[in-house]
Structure 1
Amino acid sequence: MNKIEIATLSHLNEFAELFDQYRVFYRQATDVEKGKSFLKERITNDESVTFLIKAEGKFVGFAQLYPLFHYKALQRQWLLSDLFVDPDFRGLGLSIALIDRCKAYCEETEACGLLLETEKTNDIGNQLYPKCGFELDQDHNYYNWWKKS
């Protein structure tokens, strides 16, 4: 059985390494220190909840949740913003275990559910999420607004 823990500041170094791999997967430049600073802020300010999964004595994956509120359900909803498992540990059910832990957290916090988005080109995720009970939203378009830097 793989151990899942909630990330704390004591996990920061290992978490930052995994987070950097995740960002690189999404074509971002590697920057462990900047990622570590970002994660430290999220943990310190209680702005996210992250589950880390351990295999073979080390953390090899994570799922990071951010709070939202759903206007129809009038309840908290969690955004499953980030899910990552080290490529050397894929195919072992670790992503499913992390998703199941996120679902359990919804129950624990009386949230109405999980929301996530992934790139259309993320073949792994687009196969995984329906297997885990997620439904593709055919009714909404999602838009981003980015401030000019």
Structure 2
Amino acid sequence: MYIFERFLGELKKKVTNKAHVEASICQAYLQQEISTFSSFYFERDVITRRKRPARNDDIGEDLYENVVSIFNYPGRGKGAATQRYILGGELQIAHTYILMNCPEISPFYHEFRASLSAFPEDKIDALVDSDFVNWYKYQ
């Protein structure tokens, strides 16, 4: 369906007087244009169809102060809540992932890697995965 056909369909839905369809369509179009034009001059706190924030708008503000930046994002749960137990090394993997993606922790990460400079690169990566979380706890 073309955009113009969709637009005409929307106007036809707004027809109130079936005896004078053309006049009714013109009236609906003018009402829509006037409301759109005047909505640009409302105060900032008035929410209109044109100024409505997006569904997943993060607003760009920090929610809490004195919190690590990775935990300071707004969000909503998806779907129904379910319980799940963390198995095996998943907690260690999740903890390492969070620490590695947190900019406040990067100086500690670089310090840990510098302390392992005697090891080969692949061994350093394995040690970061297994020991960085415990090393960071005691820093």
Give the TM-score range, shorter chain: under 0.3
Between Structure 1 and Structure 2, which shows a larger proportion of helix residues? 2
Structure (1 or 2) with the greater strand fraction: 1
| Structure showing greater relative contact order (alpha-carbon pairs closer than 8 Å, 6 or more residues apart) | 1
